[in-house]
Amino acid sequence: MQTVIHHGRETAYRRFDRGAAGATVLAVHGSGGTHRVWSPQSELADEHSVVALDLSGHGESDDVAAEPGYEALSAYVDDVVAVAEAVDADVLLGNSLGGAVVLTALLEREVDVSALILAGAGARLPVLDDLLRWASTDFERLVAFFHEPDHLFHDADEATLDLSRATLRETGSATLERDLRTAHAFDVRGELAAIEVPTLALVGEYDRLTPPYYHERLCAELPDCELRVLDDAAHLAMLDAPTQFNDAVRAFLSA
């Protein structure tokens, strides 16, 4: 892991690179996640340098004192901007809340990238009231919900499910609640026409958290957007269907 210091805190990231000559892709995880969700994208490292960060309070990054909502979202954007500058990122890739972070970075900051990939994302990311309540009152029920079929995964093996549950528990209820409330407050509908870089919207066909129609709406508003629905995958399609996911990224970046 490498780190960058900004705004008085340290943000950790990992680079997958086997001498790649292509674009550098900076990948941003979603609520409760860490850089590890992008491990299968290390397969792209012969062609593209892939950098995956831990947002503040996740994985190996320092936490930040930020209230849920726009304050936390802005802090996460600071993380992404700092790492993007450190690694000279060409492409931003965001999953779920990570999608909200990279969209906000492009809308509000001077981030010089040539392309955008949104995976399991949306212009708005509403969260069920039950999930917001369980985050503070019944964390194990929340963890169980996310691991029901077609939420995070479509048909993952038990080892993958166990690792995912462990990651959420390691992140903890307070940070996960901050993430979920921040996602719930996010809404950039009507603003996306300002994002002119080519965009790929990737979604698992079974994703019940950010369904395919979220991505259809993204592509309807973004000026240059391509939609790809991945078979036999749900919200974490990069883990659920890594070969399809990586092939779609390769094709998009080589176009």
The residues near 173 (Cβ < 8 Å, ≥ 6 apart) are 135, 136, 139, 142
The sign of the dihedral angle between the CA atoms of 185, 191, 196, 200 is positive
Residue 196, classed as helix, strand or coil, is coil
Q: What is the rounded average pLDDT of the residues 228-244?
A: 97
Q: Which of 117, 130, 108 is nearest to 230 (CA)?
A: 117
What are the tens digits of pLDDT across the range 187-209? 999 999 999 999 999 999 999 99
| Domain limits, the chain | 2-254
What are the tens digits of pLDDT across the range 142-155? 999 999 999 999 99
In this predicted structure, the answer to whether residue 165 has a pLDDT above a threshold of 90 is: yes
In this predicted structure, the answer to whether residue 37 has a pLDDT above a threshold of 90 is: yes
Contact (Cβ atoms closer than 8 angstroms) between residue 100 and residue 183: yes
CATH no. of 2-254: 3.40.50.1820
Which residues are 2's β-sheet partners? 13
Residue 71, classed as helix, strand or coil, is helix
In this predicted structure, the answer to whether residue 20 has a pLDDT above a threshold of 90 is: no
Tell me the residue ranges of DSSP E strands in 66-157: 91-95, 115-119
- Mean pLDDT value across the chain: 97
Contact (Cβ atoms closer than 8 angstroms) between residue 93 and residue 117: yes
Position 23 confidence tier, pLDDT thresholds 50, 70, 90: very high
pLDDT at position 131, please? 96
